[in-house]
Amino acid sequence: EATLDLAERRRIRSAIRELQRQELERDEEALASKRFRPERSSHRQDNKENWPRSRRLEEEQQTALAALSRQLETITDVEELTKLLRAAGEYEERKLIRAAIRKLRAEEIE
């Protein structure tokens, strides 16, 4: 803004753009190096200690979903399934209930 010479202003703007481009490249390189940084061994150890617990929780969830699936097979009323859908808290439960509703509606159409 201090200079009135257009050629000088162009050179300054060009230099500013180049500096911004270089800064962007440095930021991208830093981000890439953080993304692919190997895990620390102590963090891996923490994960190993929590594996049995997470596996058990996953197995419990799978068992609950299987029981829900069996229960949904016996229900033939869309309104009852809709009530279950509203009461369901987990994504996977809602997913199963919506599939059961679609199946019942398809059977009604046939």
Percent of the chain with pLDDT over 90: 17
Ramachandran class of 37: left when φ > 0, alpha when ψ lies in -120 to 50, beta otherwise: beta
Each residue's pLDDT tens digit, 56-100:
888 888 888 888 888 888 888 889 989 988 988 888 888 989 999
Q: How far apart are CA 93 and CA 14, in angstroms?
A: 57
CB distance 78 to 101 below 8 Å: yes
Q: Which two tokens stand for residue 23?
A: 């800064």
pTM over 0.85: no
Considering only CA atoms, which of 95, 59, 60, 101 is closest in space to residue 79? Answer: 101
In whole angstroms, give the CA distance from residue 28 to residue 32: 6
- Domain positions in the chain are 6-35+56-108
The whole-number pLDDT of residue 51 equals: 67
- The tokens describing 36, both together, are 């692919």
Cα 11 off chain centre by:
45
CB neighbours of 100 closer than 8 A, spacing ≥ 6?
72, 73, 75, 81
Amino acid found at 58: E
For the cut 90, the answer to whether the pLDDT of residue 17 exceeds it is: yes
